[in-house]
Amino acid sequence: MRPRSPTRIPRLVRSLAALVAAVGAIACGSVRAFRPGDELLGSEGLLVFQVRSESQLESIRIGGAYGRIPLARRAGTELHVVALAAGSYRWSELVLTDYVPPYGFLTFRFSDDANLEFHVERGRINYVGMIDVYRGDVFHVGIRAIDRTAIALGDLRTQFPDLVDRYPIVYSGPARNVFLEHYLAAKRSAEAEPPR
């Protein structure tokens, strides 16, 4: 019987770990930063949302997606545009910049809540609302999705001038969005009228 090579087992473990990571990335959508000039890949849609907080935030995670979305690390409101595979998701985790020894960075995981669920449609801008982060005390944080479509459309036109013209926009958040329906109907009507 031949002795086993000491380098063979670690190589096998590394290969197995790489395979598990690859399967995990394929099985769930990967979050990909989207910048002006980028294009969507085959099954992707654009996830558009704002984050508003009085606390400094590190990142937010989406349940069912691989990767985290880095946040600005300052209080205020910011727009985010990311590419994500079509599917159903929910906001699942929020990391603050607060460091509390011996706990480390404060990380909050959110239970299944229908108000934190959303879906992404392929080839579309999927607006899911503003994530409003509020603090109770050091160890209590809550999030809620609220509709701020008009503000998001203005921010999109400023930061991504051609995006709204390239992709159709839909509301994909947890509640019905009447504003976007009326806005799109008025836009279609204005485009159909001949110039005066």
pLDDT in tens, 123-182: 999 999 899 998 877 677 888 888 888 889 999 999 998 898 899 999 988 777 777 776
Residue 95 lies in a domain: yes
CA 196 to chain centre: 42
Nearest Cα neighbor of 85 from 112, 67, 58 is 67
Residue 23 lies in a domain: no
Residue 17 lies in a domain: no
CA distance 106 to 76: 19
Q: What is the pLDDT of residues 64-121, one digit of tens each?
A: 999 899 998 888 899 999 999 999 999 999 998 877 777 777 888 888 888 889 999 9
Which residues are paired to 69 by β-bridges?
Answer: 60
Query: What is the residue range of 166's domain?
Result: 29-192
Residue 89 lies in a domain: yes
CA distance 143 to 115: 10
Domain count of the chain? 1
Residue 87 lies in a domain: yes
Residue 188 lies in a domain: yes
For the entire predicted model, the pTM comes to 0.77
CA distance 123 to 45: 5
Tokens of 196: 């005066």
Residue 184 lies in a domain: yes
Residue 19 lies in a domain: no
